[in-house]
Amino acid sequence: MIEQFKHEKANVNAYQNAKNGMYFCGDSYYVNTTDDYFLCVVADGLGSGEYAHDASQAVISAAKDHETEDVSVIMKACNEAMRNKRGAAVSVLKVNYVQQEIVYSCVGNIRFFLYPPTEKLIYPLPVKGYLSGKPQTLKTHRFPYSSNMKFFIHSDGLNIPSVKKYIKDIPSATSLLEIAAMFTGNGMDDVTIISGEIH
């Protein structure tokens, strides 16, 4: 249920659970940290079950194939991967250590929060819709990088009233499990929660 990613430049915990204990989870995610960049992709396939899982896995596969490229290119590839699929809400977060920049793009009901150590919580407003394979305009946000920034990403299976209240203690696997237990609505939806600190 909890997967941990540890690197000298990032410390990340991920929690995922399928709706009502189903075998297939409609959410998928991918986390990778290299010396040059950190990448986190979350995909929420429309609906639930096998076809939702298939769609979200296609997103992850496309993201992996283009992960060294700009976020806008990754999102375009993810959209292309949705041709003849059910469609998916998709969130892509990339930290470029060389350019000292954080780049983020999202379509659909995945929430992203960025918490710099000396600034206010950053919360880009979600863009309605989903990736479907049809041409669409995708918005990309860019933020300056600073060390010890914390982030929190979750799919719509989590209904949390105040992320800021909890993000200060993250990334802790224990705190992530506690958040999941409190705010996932008794397993009525697929849920993915990823939190971490970028060093």
CATH of 2-198, one of 3.40.640.10, 2.40.50.140, 1.10.1060.10, 3.60.40.10: 3.60.40.10
More confident residue, 98 or 185: 98
| Mean pLDDT in residue range 162-187 | 85
The residue ranges of every structural domain in the chain are: 2-198
Query: What single DSSP character describes residue 86?
Result: -
pLDDT for 93-137, tens place per residue?
A: 999 999 999 999 999 999 999 999 887 899 998 899 999 999 999
Instruction: At 167, give phi and psi (nearest 5°).
Output: -70, -25
When pLDDT is averaged across residues 176-186 and rounded to a whole number, the result is 88
Arithmetic mean of pLDDT over the chain: 93
- In tens, the pLDDT along 147-162 reads 899 999 999 999 998 8
Please answer whether residues 13 and 41 qualify as being in contact, where contact means their C-beta atoms are separated by less than 8 angstroms: no
Which residues have a Cβ under 8 Å from the Cβ of 93 and sit 6 or more positions away?
38, 39, 40, 41, 102, 103, 104, 112, 151, 153
Place of tokens 């899982």: 53
Could you give the percent of the chain with pLDDT greater than 90?
80
